[in-house]
Chain A
Amino acid sequence: MSLPVIIVLLVSLVACAILCIVCPNLIKAALWMAGMSAILALIMFLLGAPLAAAFELSVCAGLIPVIFISASSMTKITSREEQEEKRKERHRRFVYLPFLLITLGTVLLFVLWPHVSVLLPDTFLTPGSATAQQILWNRRQVDLVGQIVIILVGVYADIVFFKGVREK
């Protein structure tokens, strides 16, 4: 869990994000997003959050790309000329992004580096000895109620928005 490993992982995380948004093919973009989730899950595992890592891997690297790919596959395929034109235009729009990121990264890393200690608190409160499962099920049941309610809302989103699509 050393610093070089973390830096490599974070750099690849940001690289995946950039590739995800500049990729012209939406299905490939969804796959880069899945790659981001996989790297994030690895980082989480290394930092000592195995439960969250497993969740992230199964849901965000599994379920979400499926949603994106099914959404993209229902959309129109553009013709060759349109694709060329769109590619030039996209280059024009997104060419600023790497420069912006590199500038921001440099500023944050090297210019503001001496002041980083102001961001960390001086003393940390002692953590409890409960595990995540215990916290969620014993102390934060309202969160679980909230999750149930939002899943019900998701079901209704399915009923309201997707009924016609299935019939189609």
Chain B
Amino acid sequence: MKKVLEEKPAESPPGPHEVPFTTISGRPIEPLYGPDRLSDFDYARDLGDPGQFPFTRGVHATMYRGKPWTMRQFAGFGTPGETNARFKYLLENGGHGLSVAFDLPTLMGRDPDHPLSLGEVGKCGVAVTSLADMETLFDGIPLDQVSTSMTINSPAAMLLAFYIAVGEKQGVPQERLSGTVQADILKEFIAQKEYIFPPRPSMRIIVDMIRYCTEHMPKWNTISISGYHIREAGSTAAQELAFTLRDGIEYVQWCVEAGMDVDSFAPRLSFFFNSHSDFFEEIAKFRAARRIWARVMRERFGAKNPRSWMCRFHAQTAGVSLTAQQPYNNVVRTALQALAAVLGGTQSLHTNSLDEALALPTQEAATIALRTQQIIAHESGVVNTADPLAGSYFVEKLTSDLEAEALEYFRKIDALGGMVAAVERGFPQREIQEAAFQFQKAVERKEKIIVGVNEYAMEEKPFPILYIDERASEEQIGRLQTLRATRDNERVRQGLARLQQAARGRDNLMYPILDAARAYATLGEMCDALREVWGEYEEPPVF
């Protein structure tokens, strides 16, 4: 590796007295906060007790005394057989739920033999090409005894169909399946960029899926509305809060416009936030998220069921904050970020492994990440009381400031005609890009110090990582060729034709997707069928 740190930066760094006191998002912080900061503060209106509207202090009355957060670690690599073995290991060692990471061809709806899948199969997650792979992935794992979270977005409906079909083969009806598909297509356009179809048909798939789950899968969380990727792409804390919740408003709006009763589906919506390095700003962000969502659901959408008002969320520590340099320091960063998520009242948590900036985690690194959560839960004492930071002048002021900043973004996005229209015009994308560039400049000016990177650097030894070769790709292409030679190809052809017919009309797409999945149509074939009808989205490449 190059010695980048011995070079003088182009601009000379400011002395200590010139470095501004700001959060990692650039928010100025005062030297002291006192009662004058909360002059119009009203406990019942602005906080309420935990479990009470507007849920600023948490969604449950007893918080972690009643129910600890779920420690849900994300895993997936190589072939379905390899990941199946890892899942069984996790379940045998006390895990309650599974969280599936898919590879890029799966995330993008491409079969492993497509030219763009070159070098990508099984690298960032597990390859799932058809129902046959899903059967292998969950072989020997009874689907009525685990909950499964699947990080899948553009082709979420197809992967959900594979999962339902595996349940049918195991004799587990869909009513008893529990888990989540991420299915948040808006944040794909905004930040993570794993979109396939244009925004409007993409939204239609999500609405069809929410309707299907509402009618048939009472234990399934239909969507995980995600700020994680928005933050990783470089947004500020307030932008993450604003864009995520405004995405949530957009989904609710589309479902209501499609004729659904808000209280029929809103209780199954869930959220997913980043837990970044700026300790108090993150805690304030989580508290503000609950307050904003409760008010939006009650006041903007007229929801009457208290469960519709609750912003239940999963959190993951900030992968982007971890450094390739001195990787053991990442354990400390992750512990602080995880503590912020717990003090912010998260319902479940993934802690990143110390080798996140180098590769997928080794088993050793993944174990330390899980132990970090267990130490917080069992040793730190923070679980003993709900929302312990409530009433802090600083935390309450930050919570209100973040809320105000998010509401200002809501006004701008509403004025643009909603989030789909804002995305089509590149508004959130530009805001995030600008914030990412400003942060990089601040680091290079040493206004923000990253330990081991722009300060306290040192010579290092090579670090052992998990290395994934091309074997998974060859195996996966072989399995696909066998499948195509042995399935009923006429049934597949008819299934894909019916899917296209539904896409051209207004019927719920979940039914033809399920039929095609049961016939062993591949994910790439189903997505290609829809690409022919809707086209593919390409964003204008601006920087």
The reply to whether chain A is a binding partner of chain B is no
